[in-house]
Amino acid sequence: MADHAPISIRIDSDPVHLCVVRSAVETAASRFGLPQHDCDRLVLAVDEAMTNIIRHGYGGRDDRSIWVTLSRLARNGQTGIEVVIDDETEQIDTGLIKAKPLVPANPDEITPGGLGVGIIEQSVDHHAYQRRTDATGLRLTLQKFASPPPTNDGGPSKTSLSAKA
Amino acid sequence: MANSPMTITSSPLDDGQMVQVTGDIDYSRSSELRVELMGLLGRPVARLIIDLVGVNYMDSSGVAVLVEALQIQRKRNQKLVLCNLQPKVKGIFEIARLNTVFTLTDSVELAKGA
């Protein structure tokens, strides 16, 4: 397999398959040169996105399709990975997909659930929701680039901050 | 990263209950955790310690279950302590900024005194 060839997966919308996609994404991201911390964040973002499709897009049905395509990216000497997640959910206004504030000022006002979109935004360098043009459904594109090695003080370098989309 | 089997066991403490969880907690598993915790919280538990040493992965559906348990404990003025969070689990708490909302400790012993 050419190292830059996209990897495509189709799974049924059954939550028991989430671990299969997590494993594939982690393996591909590692092969593409992302350090473990970045792999972990990307895996979490993909898992949250697929869970949202299953719960909200497909209403819990486990017999619908989800497609995941993994491609290697290179940008200004940085290596990265693009994950495209396609579904067949009803066309919705992508502007309505918004993250709720992760933590309200008053901890007693924290509500269970609804964290997924915010976690996706926080976990990748770029994300975009689009209506599919090839079929009915939604496309989510995620991009994650390898973080530069930490500086001597253990924090991220300025390069990694400026690279954040 | 195949899903390892999830197990949930509980044992009494002098002032409450300790729950030990193992296995990945994602959307396919979080409802099972919720049933166990809500059953346990059907009566007052002064201190609930949830030991996550055996949980290598958790998504927001698992976090939501823990938030629900925390709300119940807060309303009753009782304690919920999470301990032994593994790196990926700690990561989602940090991303969601819930590490400042929950009481997190690095050991069961510390959780007993938190």
pLDDT in tens, A137-152: 999 999 999 987 766 5
Helix (H) or strand (E) holding A39: helix A36-52
Contact B28, B63 (CB under 8 A): no
Share of chain B above pLDDT 90, in %: 92
A57 — pLDDT class (breaks 50, 70, 90):
very high
Helix (H) or strand (E) holding A47: helix A36-52
ipTM for this prediction: 0.91
List pLDDT tens digits, range B8-50. 999 999 999 999 999 999 999 999 999 999 999 999 999 999 9
Q: Who wins on pLDDT, B87 or A135?
A: B87
Please answer yes or no on whether A119 and B98 come within 8 Å at the CB atom: no
Which tokens belong to A76?
């200004």
Contact A28, A70 (CB under 8 A): yes
A97 — pLDDT class (breaks 50, 70, 90):
confident
Q: Are strands A65-75 and A78-87 parallel, antiparallel or unpaired?
A: antiparallel
pLDDT of residue A87: 96
pLDDT of residue A150: 66
C-alpha A68/C-alpha A141 separation (Å) is 10
Q: Are strands B79-83 and B103-105 parallel, antiparallel or unpaired?
A: parallel
pLDDT of residue A164: 37
CA angle A58, B55, A11 (to 5 degrees): 30
Please answer yes or no on whether A119 and B95 come within 8 Å at the CB atom: yes
* pLDDT averaged over every residue in chain A: 85
Helix (H) or strand (E) holding B19: strand B16-22
Q: How far is A13 from chain B (nearest CA, A)?
A: 11
Instruction: For chain A, state the CA radius of gyration.
Output: 16
The predicted model gives A80-98 an average pLDDT of 87
Please answer yes or no on whether A54 and B95 come within 8 Å at the CB atom: no
A90 — pLDDT class (breaks 50, 70, 90):
confident
Helix (H) or strand (E) holding B92: helix B87-95
Residue B38 contacts A where some CB pair is shorter than 8 Å: no
- Scanning B27-86, the segments in alpha helix (DSSP H) are 30-40, 60-75
A141 DSSP β-pair partners? A84, A128
Looking at residue A61, its amino acid is R
Contact B25, B59 (CB under 8 A): yes
Helices and strands counted in chain A (H then E): 4, 5
A104 — pLDDT class (breaks 50, 70, 90):
low
